[in-house]
Amino acid sequence: MKIRFKNAKILTMKDRDIIEGELWVEDDKITYVGPSCSSDQTFDKEIDCGRDLLMPGLKDAHTHTAMTFARSLADNYQLDDWLHKAIFPIEGKLTAEHIDAFYRLGVAEYLKGGVTSCFDMYFQAKATADAAKKIGFRHVFCGSVNDFGGLDRLEDEFDTYNSYDPLISYVLGFHAEYTTSRDKMERISQIAHDRKAPVYAHISETRAEVAGCVERYGVTPVVLFDQIGLFDFGGGGFHCVHFSEEDRKIFKKKGLFLVFNACSNLKLASGIAPVASYIREGQKIAVGTDGAGSNNALSMFREMYLDTVLSNVSEDDAASVDPFEILKAATVGGAECMGLTDCDVLEAGKQADIIRIDMSCPCMQPLNNIANNIVYSGDTSIVKMTMIAGKILYEDGKFNTIDISGVYDRCNGYMRELI
Amino acid sequence: MKIRFKNAKILTMKDRDIIEGELWVEDDKITYVGPSCSSDQTFDKEIDCGRDLLMPGLKDAHTHTAMTFARSLADNYQLDDWLHKAIFPIEGKLTAEHIDAFYRLGVAEYLKGGVTSCFDMYFQAKATADAAKKIGFRHVFCGSVNDFGGLDRLEDEFDTYNSYDPLISYVLGFHAEYTTSRDKMERISQIAHDRKAPVYAHISETRAEVAGCVERYGVTPVVLFDQIGLFDFGGGGFHCVHFSEEDRKIFKKKGLFLVFNACSNLKLASGIAPVASYIREGQKIAVGTDGAGSNNALSMFREMYLDTVLSNVSEDDAASVDPFEILKAATVGGAECMGLTDCDVLEAGKQADIIRIDMSCPCMQPLNNIANNIVYSGDTSIVKMTMIAGKILYEDGKFNTIDISGVYDRCNGYMRELI
């Protein structure tokens, strides 16, 4: 299948330049990005972009996709009650069928919002992988070991889902220090060393988490993980709100990723990550939504906006973060963080994970600065099309590989049983 | 013209209940809201809502609409440079033609985002009023007097635009304490007394503003305005980020409105309004976007989300603000603040300022709590239709009374001349 996008603006994300020209796709790959040119090739499909913008898909670098069941559920509970009275009792009942439906709902939200891959920490890996494969969504698992289980499965899942389908991959991970014993963390470190693989976890999301770790081990979670050798082959942390100077040094030295989850941190009163200072230090950064229970949307646009402006108040600086740095974190950074280095920018040879931004949305006008318009003014309404591995999965409000009304009926039916 | 919306969910905003039923409109008014019923009336148009939600339009209670020219313009400047090097030089050149085009761009963004009226502080009143009238948009002027001018026009404009068109009204206002001499403020107070009319201004947006006022007058802006008698017939303030205990008492006692502008306050590093504590005190509240130069979007959804979650961190409370209170502020509160008491809720006799929320957006599912879905997960993509005074101005991406591509061409052409 050969597709030609003509008459487009193209933000490759290799740099800040916007090319006026065209982009060609053959099967799952990009074959050309550049000025308009005559071609003796025949294309199966020619799309006139009407000067809309093509850019790499957004990468949601931390989420719990199937937690869409928890959207607007017990929003008025404090974290502890929310988990123990609302979430855990339902999670205990979730079957593969439930996960399939709530995962599809989450993926529909990603596609509508220009997200072409997610770094997903949840359970029921087979149901998830099969749904992703059927939809055509690029799914990166993050291991979710904790004291309730998972370690026995970690190596199996790592092997299984790294050779399951070109769209599926698996990265080592565990929930967090406060839910995982030292013994388990040491065994995860051994697995990481055996496979020379990076490891991710929730890290320093709340002050209480850091204080608890210091009480238990005398050091912060980052220092502990480093001591255990969990970061010897890279990786990083989700949230990263409350970092010490020493934590920052370890992340910088080892080239670990800080994945920001601004909406979740605000909603759960966890705090505000000092994004501006992390960027000044030259840390590696990515952007995630967290799950729909604690956000409650899966909108990378809202995240990008907040990661750009939230530091302004604490820094007393109206331009503390360059919006382009956040756009880069949400595309190129996320891709590297998730091991998707062939999905980062738009150039020949890369995977065709592409979104089309509707430049006829009022919030994208005038054209003073298109990248700034996306970050400061964009929301999911500006996404006109989402393509993954050369297949158009979403366009103009329609999902090509998801029976969306069926998904809604299933989800609402399941909620009546689960609550 | 008689229109019947059938098969709808209806959130009247009189309370939290959602009615399943229908809503009828005749000319500019709502004639029926309630359960489905047989009718011997003939309708000119019957719309099957497919169980989508109807609710009152959002009221943008503080904005500078035509400042869309400033979107993503010099975002990397600090406030002072941004004003003096980027904004003022352009504002000095703006003609009625420019204002017409940039205002239309802003109104298109409102309509797409479910905003049915705005409380607008800017200049070139005639060009603005004529554009609003032609589009069919409900426009409430807020007087914009400052030391550079405006006082001579205030009474004229008040009289002219309160009898110009049913969609147009005018409320007394001035820019702010730091741009308006005491003498001018006293004359505005006299006008307010003569007309028994409320007065609005930017109030306590930044710490520097409050400190400057205390230095000049020995009291905060709120206390000063109260001493001058500006609030003797009501009114309120835009931003209201840095209030003293005494300021709060004056606002409460006089029933004045606090209009929140969370995005602008973050972007300009002004601070975070303590929304939760204002609600606990029973203050009257409304929500606004501020202008596109300092936001940069005109999205009431992003504002509502932030007004709900931003207090969580400072209050260390994951449920510090009830999202329904913010939805009420953005509809009923805004309407009262702007003097539009016939546009606040959906009931027979009220103006037909109605939006249709697309319940088939993934972020609106499952249906655990629809109001929370709107506030916590909504963005402008969930707005399917916007009706003002019984006329459908926006539906499914199309503007019925704005030549949108013409507006874009004009705006981009003007930008090339103005920068």
In this prediction, what percent of chain B has a pLDDT beyond 70?
100
What average pLDDT score do residues A398-403 get?
98
Q: Please answer yes or no on whether B366 and A408 come within 8 Å at the CB atom.
A: yes
Q: How far B413 CA lies from chain A's nearest CA (Å)?
A: 9
pLDDT for A60-110, tens place per residue?
999 999 999 999 998 888 878 888 899 999 999 999 999 999 999 999 999
Would you say residue B166 lies in a domain?
A: yes
Question: Do residue A318 and residue A392 come from a single domain?
Answer: no
Q: How far B334 CA lies from chain A's nearest CA (Å)?
A: 22
Last residue of a domain, one of B304, B337, B370: B337
CB contacts, 8 Å: A318 with chain B: 77-79, 82, 267-269
Q: How far B177 CA lies from chain A's nearest CA (Å)?
A: 22
Residue A360 CA to its chain's centroid (Å): 27
At A345, list the tokens: 């920018």
Would you say residue B267 lies in a domain?
A: yes
CB contacts, 8 Å: A267 with chain B: 309, 312, 318, 376
Question: Do residue A72 and residue A176 come from a single domain?
Answer: yes
What average pLDDT score do residues A149-169 get?
93
Q: How far B414 CA lies from chain A's nearest CA (Å)?
A: 10
The chain A residue lying nearest B104, using CA atoms, is A362
The chain A residue lying nearest B308, using CA atoms, is A267
- How far is residue A280 from each of residues A285, A310, B119, B333, measured CA to CA in Å? 11, 15, 39, 42
What average pLDDT score do residues A25-53 get?
94
Q: Which residues pair with A6 in a beta bridge?
A: A48
Alpha-carbon distance of B325 to B15, in angstroms, equals: 11
Alpha-carbon distance of A229 to B388, in angstroms, equals: 62
Would you say residue B227 lies in a domain?
A: yes
The chain A residue lying nearest B362, using CA atoms, is A109
Give the pLDDT band (50/70/90) at residue A148. confident
Q: Which residues pair with A55 in a beta bridge?
A: A355
Would you say residue A408 lies in a domain?
A: no
pLDDT for B145-185, tens place per residue?
998 877 888 999 999 999 999 999 999 999 999 999 999 99
Question: Do residue A139 and residue A48 come from a single domain?
Answer: no
The chain B residue lying nearest A314, using CA atoms, is B269
pLDDT at A393 over 90: yes
Q: Please answer yes or no on whether A272 and B305 come within 8 Å at the CB atom.
A: no
- How far is residue B129 from each of residues A8, A228, B200, B372, B394, measured CA to CA in Å? 37, 68, 19, 35, 19
pLDDT at A408 over 80: yes
Q: How far A22 CA lies from chain B's nearest CA (Å)?
A: 22
- How many contacts (CB atoms, under 8 Å) link A and B? 215
CB contacts, 8 Å: B263 with chain A: 305, 309
The chain A residue lying nearest B360, using CA atoms, is A405
CB contacts, 8 Å: B366 with chain A: 68-69, 71, 105, 408, 411-412, 415
Would you say residue B405 lies in a domain?
A: no
CB contacts, 8 Å: A297 with chain B: 363, 376-379
CB contacts, 8 Å: B369 with chain A: 72-73, 75
Amino acid A151: pLDDT: 83
CB contacts, 8 Å: A322 with chain B: 76
A415 vs B312, B362, B368: nearest CB: B368
Question: Which regions of B266-340 does DSSP assign to beta strands (E)?
Answer: 284-287
Q: Per the omega criterion (within 30 degrees of 0), is the bond before A296 cis?
A: yes
pLDDT for A264-275, tens place per residue?
999 999 999 999
pLDDT for B89-143, tens place per residue?
999 999 999 999 999 999 999 999 999 999 999 999 999 999 999 999 999 999 9
Question: Do residue B84 and residue B184 come from a single domain?
Answer: yes
**Contact predicate B177/B224, CB 8 Å:** yes
**Contact predicate A291/A63, CB 8 Å:** yes
Question: Do residue A324 and residue A357 come from a single domain?
Answer: no
Question: Do residue B262 and residue B146 come from a single domain?
Answer: yes
Q: Please answer yes or no on whether A296 and B105 come within 8 Å at the CB atom.
A: no
pLDDT at A150 over 80: no
The chain B residue lying nearest A375, using CA atoms, is B296
Amino acid A96: pLDDT: 97
pLDDT tens by residue, chain B, 419 residues: 999 999 999 999 999 999 999 999 999 999 999 999 877 889 999 999 999 999 999 999 999 999 999 999 988 888 788 888 999 999 999 999 999 999 999 999 999 999 999 999 999 999 999 999 999 999 999 999 998 877 888 999 999 999 999 999 999 999 999 999 999 999 999 999 999 999 999 999 999 999 999 999 999 999 999 999 999 999 999 999 999 999 999 999 999 999 999 999 999 999 999 999 999 999 999 999 999 999 999 999 999 999 999 999 989 999 999 999 999 999 999 999 999 999 999 999 999 999 999 999 999 999 999 999 999 999 999 999 999 999 999 999 999 999 999 999 999 999 999 98
DSSP assignment letter at B146: B
Q: How far A405 CA lies from chain B's nearest CA (Å)?
A: 8
Testing the interface with A: which of B267, B322, B326 to mutate, by most A Cβ within 10 A? B267
**Contact predicate A263/A289, CB 8 Å:** yes
Q: Which residues pair with B394 in a beta bridge?
A: B386, B399
Last residue of a domain, one of B284, B315, B337: B337
Question: Do residue A45 and residue A96 come from a single domain?
Answer: no
Q: Please answer yes or no on whether B412 and A315 come within 8 Å at the CB atom.
A: no
Question: Residue A81 maps to which CATH number?
Answer: 3.20.20.140
CB contacts, 8 Å: A109 with chain B: 362-363
A7 CB-contact burial (10 Å; exposed 0-12 / middle 13-18 / buried 19+): middle
CB contacts, 8 Å: A373 with chain B: 71-72, 296
Residues 6 or more apart whose CB falls under 8 angstroms from that of A138 comprise A116, A117, A118, A132, A167, A168, A340, A343, A353, A388, A389
Question: Do residue B75 and residue B42 come from a single domain?
Answer: no
CB contacts, 8 Å: B77 with chain A: 318-319
A373 vs B71, B305, B415: nearest CB: B71
Q: Please answer yes or no on whether A368 and B68 come within 8 Å at the CB atom.
A: no
CA end-to-end span of chain B, whole Å? 45
Q: How many CA atoms lie within 13 A of B305 on its CB side?
A: 27
Amino acid A78: pLDDT: 81
Question: Do residue B218 and residue B367 come from a single domain?
Answer: no
Q: What number is the ipTM of this complex? A: 0.97
Tally of structural domains, chain B? 2
**Contact predicate B291/B63, CB 8 Å:** yes
Testing the interface with A: which of B71, B206, B289, B416 to mutate, by most A Cβ within 10 A? B71
Testing the interface with B: which of A52, A53, A72 to mutate, by most B Cβ within 10 A? A72
Amino acid A406: pLDDT: 98
Report the relative pairing of strands B354-357 and B284-287 from DSSP bridges: unpaired
The amino acid present at A310, given as its one-letter code, is L
Q: How far A193 CA lies from chain B's nearest CA (Å)?
A: 38
Would you say residue A290 lies in a domain?
A: yes
Question: Do residue B190 and residue B300 come from a single domain?
Answer: yes
Question: Do residue A97 and residue A167 come from a single domain?
Answer: yes
Phi/psi at B75 (nearest 5 deg)?
-60, -25
Question: Residue A38 maps to which CATH number?
Answer: 2.30.40.10
CB contacts, 8 Å: A79 with chain B: 318
The chain B residue lying nearest A406, using CA atoms, is B360
Report the relative pairing of strands B168-173 and B138-142 from DSSP bridges: parallel
Nearest to B141 by CA among B103, B179, B111: B103
Would you say residue A369 lies in a domain?
A: yes
CB contacts, 8 Å: A319 with chain B: 75-78
Give the pLDDT band (50/70/90) at residue A149. confident
Question: Do residue B238 and residue B156 come from a single domain?
Answer: yes
Would you say residue B406 lies in a domain?
A: no
Amino acid B151: pLDDT: 83
Testing the interface with B: which of A296, A326, A383 to mutate, by most B Cβ within 10 A? A296
Q: How far B232 CA lies from chain A's nearest CA (Å)?
A: 34
Q: What angle do CA A345, A351, A353 make, to 5 degrees?
A: 70
pLDDT for A337-375, tens place per residue?
999 999 999 999 999 999 999 999 999 999 999 999 999
pLDDT for A280-324, tens place per residue?
999 999 999 999 999 999 999 999 999 999 999 989 999 999 999
CB contacts, 8 Å: B398 with chain A: none
Q: Per the omega criterion (within 30 degrees of 0), is the bond before A162 cis?
A: no
Range of the domain at A375: 2-56+352-399
